[in-house]
Amino acid sequence: MPKPVVSEEKRRRRRLTRSGKVLSEQLIIDTAMRLLREHGSTGLSARRLGLALDCDPSTLYRYFRGMDDLTLAIGDTLIGQALHGWSPTGAWRADLRGLGVRIHAAYVAHPQAAVLTTSRVTGRANELAADEAVLGVLRGAGLPVADAVPVYHAFIDQTLAFAALDAASLALPNAALRAEDEVWRSTYAHLPASSHPHIAAAAPLLATEMVNSAYPSALDLLLDAVAARLKAAAQQGSDGRTRG
Amino acid sequence: MPKPVVSEEKRRRRRLTRSGKVLSEQLIIDTAMRLLREHGSTGLSARRLGLALDCDPSTLYRYFRGMDDLTLAIGDTLIGQALHGWSPTGAWRADLRGLGVRIHAAYVAHPQAAVLTTSRVTGRANELAADEAVLGVLRGAGLPVADAVPVYHAFIDQTLAFAALDAASLALPNAALRAEDEVWRSTYAHLPASSHPHIAAAAPLLATEMVNSAYPSALDLLLDAVAARLKAAAQQGSDGRTRG
DNA sequence: TCTCTTATGCCAACACAGTTGACCTTACGC
DNA sequence: GCGTAAGGTCAACTGTGTTGGCATAAGAGA
């Protein structure tokens, strides 16, 4: 019985669970995300999910190949939420910024789920749509494919990287969170200026700075670089040259 | 027996393990990192570590409060390796770039360990030293504390964020790695231009681009921004103004 | 409406995980 | 040398993902 997971649209017989519910991919994903939110990023388990859905854990293997497969599905759902309602306006900079902020926000809004999925490539529908959107904006702005690809790479990796980092600190279980807070208060805030002069001098500022995400500023830096490349390409074009 | 972990320097009686070895924090950390390298980022377990050290798993609790505590120790070791041999030259841009590249490289050199530790704040010695170094370089360049702190934040988060992302894909177990490769070949490379025109057009370039890290370019962007701020601050100073 | 097939939910079991409390032995301070 | 307790070991607990076998009810075909 190792593999025969049937896809959602091929599913024909909708049998009731012992508690009378009807399962579906979407219901399982939603419940999993709720569990993640309630119990932290390590709080999702087949048994707990079975308990929440009032079905046997092994039943889940009729819908997903395993917990890892379910994880990927959750990740694609997050990207889907980010893209929901987005459409390009034609202003490349605003469009790209919007995409970045939306994706980052979607992950950060579900930090426990994000921790599990940020660095996974799923190849599922919503992930593909996001990639297509980013590449489309860049090329629509006038960037040749060869220039668009590295920019796309930096853009998407930076967005996911910050999303992962920011989500990770938001997703820490309460115990670990208090522990890090304690580390901060007991260590960073009281370092003697003799051994760590710079941290000591910056301590009060660090306390307020470190709670925010550095993503927006990093994103704007990247957009500046894109603008510079576009300008250079335009100038090159008006010079009548085709290659640098 | 819940808490009484004694610190390494307080350790007095060095008793032999059943196989004649002598345990120590360092030996345990080194062995753990070896296990991570050999068995992947999920391949570290108390039982496996006990097997490798030829001691009972529960013995480890005499040295670390739990597997999580050991994880933090591994993280600090990585930062220590990054800083080993580094010293500031006085040229802020080269120094900062060196720090970033070293930290990123140290994590990426131990991807399986990095996955577990990148987003954890330990407050241990080497982490503090790294923070102190970054802040020192920025202030040494002439940046006032209030300006240095957000730059420090962006710098350290960006470095760790990319390290985490790059490590994550390097640390994927062989099975998952082949799966992602398969996803790529079966999905991205063969998307019809009708549904995903931009991905289709970029496919060959994407294949070669996505294997490299986007960190160096992102780092240089950040350094450019710092240079701009320094220039602005210098100009402001020569104007005789003290506040903007 | 009845029947047959098989999709799909359930059960029991496996090997693995982290962690703990009790025990015992041996290295060290006196 | 002796007594103490540090530190290694054992056994057990609860939790995890996953699988093969079973049984039952949903839906197709008559």
Crossing angle (nearest 10°) for helices B67-83 and B92-109? 140
Question: Residue A199: exposed, middle, or buried by beta-carbon count in 10 A (0-12, 13-18, 19+)?
Answer: buried
- The predicted model gives B147-176 an average pLDDT of 86
Region A187-216 average pLDDT: 88
Domain definitions of chain A by residue range: 18-195
Q: How far is the CA of B61 from the C1' of C19 (A)?
A: 9
pLDDT of residue B210: 80
Q: Do A184 and B210 touch (CB under 8 A)?
A: no
Q: Is the CB of A68 under 7 A from strand D?
A: yes
Tell me which nucleotides of strand C come within 7 A of a protein CB: 6-12, 16-22, 26-29
The amino acid that residue A158 corresponds to is Q
pLDDT of A4 over the 70 cut: no
User: Which residues make beta-bridge pairs with A22?
Assistant: A16
Q: Give me the residue label for tokens 């140290």.
A: B106
pLDDT at B24 over 60: yes
* Cβ of residue B44 lies below 7 Å from strand C: yes
Q: Which of B158, B180, B190, B219 to mutate to test the interface with A (most CBs of A within 10 A)?
A: B158
Burial of B242 (0-12, 13-18, 19+ CB in 10 A): exposed
pLDDT of residue A58: 94
CATH homologous superfamily, domain B86-177+187-238:
Tetracycline Repressor, domain 2 (1.10.357.10)
Instruction: Report if CB A16 to strand D is under 7 Å.
Output: yes
- Residue A239: what pLDDT? 63
A13 CB neighbours strand D below 7 A: yes
Q: Which of residues 66-95 of B touch A (CB under 8 A)?
A: 68
What pLDDT does B3 receive? 47
* Per-residue flag: B67 CB under 7 A of strand C: yes
**pLDDT tens for each residue of A152-182:** 988 999 999 999 888 988 887 666 666 677 7
Average pLDDT, chain A: 87
pLDDT at B170: 85
User: To which residue do tokens 């529960």 refer?
Assistant: B58
A13 Cβ nearer than 7 Å to chain C strand? yes
> What pLDDT is recorded for position A1?
47
Under the banding of pLDDT at 50, 70 and 90, the label for residue A119 is confident
Task: State which H helix or E strand residue A196 sits in.
Answer: none
Indicate whether B1 pLDDT > 50. no
Q: A3-17, B29-43, B167-181, B211-225 — which is least confidently predicted? A: A3-17
Q: Is A56 helix (H, G, I), strand (E, B) or coil?
A: coil
Task: Please tell me the least confidently modeled range out of B119-133, B157-171, B230-244.
Answer: B230-244
**Residue nearest C27 (alpha carbon to C1'):** B13
With bands split at pLDDT 50, 70 and 90, how would you rate the model's confidence at B239?
low
Which residue of chain B has the CA closest to A145? Answer: B202
Give the count of beta carbons closer than 10 Å to the beta carbon of residue A124: 17
**pLDDT at residue B233, as a whole number:** 74
Average pLDDT of chain B is 86
Residue-wise pLDDT tens digits, B49-104: 999 999 999 999 999 999 989 999 999 999 999 999 999 999 999 999 999 999 99
Q: A121 to chain B nearest CA, in Å?
A: 6
Sequence-distant (≥ 6) Cβ neighbours of residue A133 within 8 angstroms: A83, A86, A88, A99
Backbone φ and ψ for B123, nearest 5 degrees, come out as: 70, 10
Say yes or no for a CB contact (<8 Å) between A198 and B122: no
- Mean pLDDT across A96-103: 97
The first and second tokens of residue A81, run together, are: 């939420």
Instruction: Report the distance from CA of residue A9 to the C1' of nucleotide D30 in Å, as an integer.
Output: 27
Residues 23-42 of B with CB under 7 A from strand D: 23
**Whether B153 contacts chain A with CB within 8 A:** yes
Write the CATH number of the domain with boundaries A18-195. 1.10.357.10
The alpha carbon of residue A22 is apart from the nearest alpha carbon of chain B, in Å, by 31
Q: What is the pLDDT of residue A237?
A: 65
Amino acid at A58: S
